[in-house]
Homo-oligomer: A and B are copies of this chain.
Amino acid sequence: MKDVAAHAGVSAATVSRALSGGRAMNPEVQRRVQESARELGYQVNLLGRALRQQRLNIVGLMVPDLENPFFAALAEQLARTLRGNGFELLVSSAAGSVEIEAHGVQSFLGQQIHALVIIPCDELASADTLRLARERVPVVQYDRRVAAVDVPFVGCDNRAGMELLANHVRTADPAGDQVVFVGADATSSSGRERLEGFRREFPNAPALAGSFDVEWGYRAVGEIVAMGIESGTIVAAADVIALGVLTGLIGAGFRVPQDFRVVGFDGIGISQFVMPTLTTIRQPVERMSDAILELIREGVGGSESAAITLQPEFVSGASSPS
């Protein structure tokens, strides 16, 4: 920076003003400084700036698992939204572990990020991490909620989504054949709420519990067959699970949708193009990202934490390629 100042024949303060562009100044001088900077290949040290300003214009996103394509899609969309508004998004994965999550959040905090967006790993065990983070920086919970901690939340209405799915299932199959729920772990709010939503609609249908990944859906088919069920509708708690279910069904020789109908939840990323007739519930990812941006801008001030629950929409199954 000193070099640029010398090269342009001004002081370091002027270089700073010329490049950060905040205050009014002689445009001719500004141009000269910018040219010198380019010529010398100078690039501001964000650490120096952040140390002085006490904040970096970076938002951290902590996800439970990057290999879940729904989280990847959330990350991509959030990055897009923030990028258009002067922020950079950096993503870190907890790899399913509460300890790694805690450690990663600590690292984010140490870097003086502007805000933290977190999809908590565990409805209970992530609470301490959230409490800690909230003392230092604006925090938003995304998609999954730790209710015990007073931190704003943005997500979709999982129970309403299940209601939409249930209506579809009943319409498509008024005879009321077998319905099975292939759920995820109940240690996340989304998993629990979707199970509750399903139970309210189909109190007597069997519900299996697993995790949010393809493998579980694949294995669940074995369990369903073992129950003696050979046709019906399978409601998966997420599209990744539905994908595994479809794979398992076809591998086991069933026909879709003749033998089994499969519906999912999330409606995003890869699943949009997976298999025929995957009907799903689409989460309003753009609006959720916008809501997060808004919270971050406000600094997530009050002790009165917002809980922004947006409405998902029904998406009918894809047809085959022409």
Contacts and interface: CB of A to CB of B under 8 A. Distances in A.
A321 B135 contact: no
26 contacts: A44-B110, A45-B110, A46-B112, A47-B47, A47-B111, A48-B51, A51-B51, A56-B111, A58-B107, A66-B72, A67-B76, A67-B269, A69-B270, A72-B72, A76-B93, A79-B92, A88-B107, A91-B91, A214-B274, A215-B273, A219-B321, A222-B321, A240-B270, A247-B276, A250-B256, A253-B320
Q: Give the number of copies in the complex.
A: 2
Interface string A99-142: 01000101101111000000000000000000000011000000
Report the contact-size class of chain A (Cβ under 8 Å from the partner).
35 or more
A307 interface: no
Contacts of A273: 214-215, 218, 244, 247
A300 interface: no
Interface string A261-294: 0000000011011111000000000000000000
B91 A252 contact: no
A43 B109 contact: yes
Contacts of A318: 251
A248 interface: yes
A162 interface: no
Contacts of A252: 320-321
A72 B89 CA distance: 16
B66 A222 contact: no
A310 to B, nearest CB: 21
Shortest 10 CB-CB distances between A and B: which pairs? A251-B320, A46-B110, A251-B276, A222-B321, A214-B273, A91-B91, A66-B72, A90-B90, A248-B321, A252-B320
A95 interface: yes
A135 B41 CA distance: 10
Given A111-B46, A218-B273, A270-B270, A248 B320 contact: yes
A104 B135 CA distance: 28
Contacts of A47: 47, 50-51, 56, 110-112
